Amino acid sequence: MRRYMPVLALLALALVLPGAAAATKTAYLLTQGTMSAYYALASLGLCALMGYAGQISLGQAGFFAIGGYGSALLSTLDLRGAADAPIVRALDRLGLLAGGADSAGALALSPWAACLLAILLAAAVAALIGTPILRLKGHYLAMATLGFGIVVEKIARGTAAFGGADGLSGVPGLGLAPGLAVTGGREARAANFTIAWIVLALGLLFLVNLMRSRSGRALRALHDGEAAAGAMGVDTARIKLKVFVLGAVYAAVAGALLAFYNGSIGPGEAATTKSVRYVAIVAIGGMANLSGTLAAGLVLNFLSLRGVFGSLDDGVFGAVLVLVMLLSPSAADYRRGFSEFAQRFAPTPRGSRSGAQAATPGRAPGDSGPGAPSGPRVGGEAKR
Amino acid sequence: MSAILAAAGLSRSFGGLRAVDGVSFEAGAGRITAVIGPNGAGKTTLFNLIAGALSPDSGSVSFDGEDITGMRPHEVARRGIARTFQTVKLSGRMTVLENVMIGRHTRSRSGFLEAMVAAPWTRAEEKSMRDISMAAIERLGLGEYAGREAGTLPFGIQRSVELARALASEPKLLLLDEPASGLNVRETKGLAELISGIRGGGTSILVVEHDMSLVMGISDEIVVLSFGRKLAQGAPRDIQRNPEVVAIYLGEEDADA
């Protein structure tokens, strides 16, 4: 049960904090608390991908934007001009349209349909680009995902349909129940805080379960070495793609819900600095650490939204990222790794046994001259 | 003797170097087959060609009557071949039990979505993975380490954990890449008993090894490689008397002296 404590804590806070905020007359903080929860959700998805599976992505904001822009565009796109088109009629029959030909307002996809389509789109894009780029590793994967993020940002900024630098606004609320919707406005504020934190708690719960499962172990094994994971039967390419899509879906859900909550979305959500921010939050949270990512995501985004970092905002995330990289235990591993690496080229030929065991495939035949530690053993045995 | 594994004309070059050059051999079902040879003879390359970590330039590998040439490692694993590595490859931050449970991957099914919502049937599967993995851990005398992070353990223990992981998959064929390297004489003896015991359970074994004492004691059949080619194949007794084999090992001895 201990592993579910953070989930339960989130649920408790989801219910308690709105009341506490009202009692202390700080209900205005709930708005930033709600937004922080959605940003934290996007970070959680990246935590699964980067922290656990070891696949870096600098394109998380791209998927966030696809979810947000997709929902905003599809739920506001006026279909009245095409009301007689077969596809619009079919959508109407399926009950996927909001408004109607007879109503005074616009005819558009219902928010739910828009939201689901946008998330599916993000998943499809992730699957499409993930297939080639997940063959890359390390820096190369980072650069490829960075490129993807830049493409999404430029499309968002440069396309008239996406509102250019202004983004899209007038996004309707996403109705959950009568009188309850993911939407902005003072009267919906407390309820939306609770909705966002419950969504975040669910997102966390799913990942806590996943990481303790067969698939979660496979992801962690993948992180530590593809050769071993593959040799034990893990289809490394497939599971990488799965977790990449999963991370994208988390970001897209977060982006969609934030667009409905704010009633708008702008190109800033697609910015590379946002992607870097998600990476920083996962790193600060301790990489393969869901609760840490969650806490870092909530706290840092909240402070940022409150304007605590002032005009240095993204700079703070960058600086914290540098610090974490320098101080993290894995950085210590790298430093140790370097000294071992250096020792291998030290003049003494009799190195450590395990270090000298590297009979690599590319080694020349008979290249077992001085320094090959197992040679004498074999020779000694054969002589008898 | 029925063969569980058959390599035919396997070749693989790296740059201009023919690391494995037209090697053919068979490994008998339920037997221990050893591949020996000096450093750089192509043993590990041969192993990687069988396990799917490398693709051959030419030649074929068949396992249990099926052509597995060029299959990827996980496809090979799913057919019942488990392996260990010359340099231990464990997940250092996972516990010994979790590492060994990876060995059950091919024997279990539950996927992402079922795991995320903790579907009831995944719990039963998880329990069976845990039980069988614990049994493999106990078998290797690692019970006390089950909850420890693998990366914190001594090298010899890690090597055993890797073997437990391979055993947990209940393989038809076990590939051991230099299992005795880094072990002392006493540990090597224990390893020999263990390998014989695994064979006794019906698992076929292919072992690449430098340590002749281990190989001569336990093998049913020995394949000798030199410069990427098969030099000889036969029972340990015959191999020990084979003048060519003696020559390459003595030759290496000279080079070392």
Chain B, residues 182-241, CB within 8 A of chain A, namely: 182, 210-213, 216, 226-228, 240
Look at residue A384 in the predicted model and tell me its pLDDT. 34
Cβ-Cβ contacts under 8 Å for A63 (sequence gap 6 or more)? A42, A122, A125, A126, A247, A248, A249, A251, A252, A255
Look at residue A331 in the predicted model and tell me its pLDDT. 59
Q: How far is B59 from chain A (nearest CA, A)?
A: 18
State both tokens at B44.
């590990």
Look at residue A343 in the predicted model and tell me its pLDDT. 58
Note the ipTM here.
0.91
B41 contacts in chain A (CB < 8 Å): 365
E strand spans, chain A: 97-98, 108-109, 168-169, 174-177, 180-182, 264-265
In Å, what is the CA distance from B37 to each residue of A249, B25, B192, B225, B238?
52, 15, 19, 5, 15
Look at residue B46 in the predicted model and tell me its pLDDT. 95
Mean pLDDT of chain A: 86
CB–CB of B181/B159 below 8 Å?
no
For B73-97, write each residue's pLDDT tens digit. Answer: 999 999 999 999 998 999 999 999 9
**How many residue pairs from chains A and B have C-beta atoms closer than 8 A?**
202
B89 contacts in chain A (CB < 8 Å): 224-225, 227-228, 231
CB contact under 8 A, B252 and A209: no
Look at residue B16 in the predicted model and tell me its pLDDT. 87
Report how far residue B167's alpha carbon sits from residue B159's, in angstroms, rounded to the nearest whole number: 13
Look at residue A336 in the predicted model and tell me its pLDDT. 55
For A228-258, write each residue's pLDDT tens digit. Answer: 999 999 999 999 999 999 999 999 999 999 9
In Å, what is the CA distance from A95 to each residue of A88, A110, A118, A170, A314?
11, 8, 18, 21, 43
Report how far residue A264's alpha carbon sits from residue A268's, in angstroms, rounded to the nearest whole number: 12
CB contact under 8 A, A367 and B39: yes
Amino acid in the structure at residue A346 = A
Q: For the residues A281-307, what does the mean pLDDT come to?
A: 94
Look at residue A33 in the predicted model and tell me its pLDDT. 97
Look at residue A323 in the predicted model and tell me its pLDDT. 86
Q: How far is A237 from chain B (nearest CA, A)?
A: 10
Look at residue A377 in the predicted model and tell me its pLDDT. 36
For A146-169, write each residue's pLDDT tens digit. Answer: 999 999 999 999 999 999 999 999
| pLDDT one digit per residue (tens) for chain B, 257 residues | 689 999 999 999 998 899 999 999 999 999 999 999 888 889 999 999 999 999 999 999 999 999 999 999 999 999 999 999 998 999 999 999 999 999 999 999 999 999 999 999 999 999 999 999 999 999 999 999 999 999 999 988 999 999 999 999 999 999 999 998 888 888 889 999 999 999 998 999 999 988 788 888 899 999 999 999 999 999 999 998 888 888 887 665 444 43
Q: Is the pLDDT of residue A363 over 70?
A: no
Chain A, residues 326-355, CB within 8 A of chain B, namely: 353-354
Give start and end residues of each alpha helix (H) in chain B: 43-51, 73-78, 96-102, 112-116, 120-139, 155-168, 185-200, 212-218, 236-241, 243-256
Nearest Cα to A78, choosing from A168, A142, A193, A139? A168
Q: What sign does the CA torsion over B185, B189, B190, B195 have?
A: positive
CB–CB of B35/B232 below 8 Å?
no
Look at residue A358 in the predicted model and tell me its pLDDT. 39
End-to-end alpha carbon distance in chain A:
61
CB contact under 8 A, B210 and A378: yes
Work out the percent of chain A whose per-residue pLDDT is above 90. Answer: 69
Look at residue A381 in the predicted model and tell me its pLDDT. 36
Q: Quote the crossing angle between the two packed helices A60-76 and A29-46, to the nearest 10°.
A: 120
End-to-end alpha carbon distance in chain B:
41
| B238 CB-side CA count, 13 A | 11
Partner-chain residue, chosen from B111, B228, B252, that has the shortest CB–CB distance to A378: B252
Report how far residue A253's alpha carbon sits from residue A65's, in angstroms, rounded to the nearest whole number: 10
For A300-356, write each residue's pLDDT tens digit. Answer: 999 999 999 988 999 999 998 888 888 766 655 555 555 555 555 555 444 344 433
Cβ-Cβ contacts under 8 Å for A359 (sequence gap 6 or more)? B39, B40, B43, B44, B86
B9 reaches A (C-beta below 8 A) = no
Q: How far is A180 from chain B (nearest CA, A)?
A: 25
Report how far residue A242's alpha carbon sits from residue A245's, in angstroms, rounded to the nearest whole number: 5
Q: Which of B89, B93, B218 to mutate to test the interface with A (most CBs of A within 10 A)?
A: B89
Please tell me whether residue A285 adopts helix, strand or coil conformation.
coil
B121 reaches A (C-beta below 8 A) = no
Q: Is the pLDDT of residue A368 over 50?
A: no
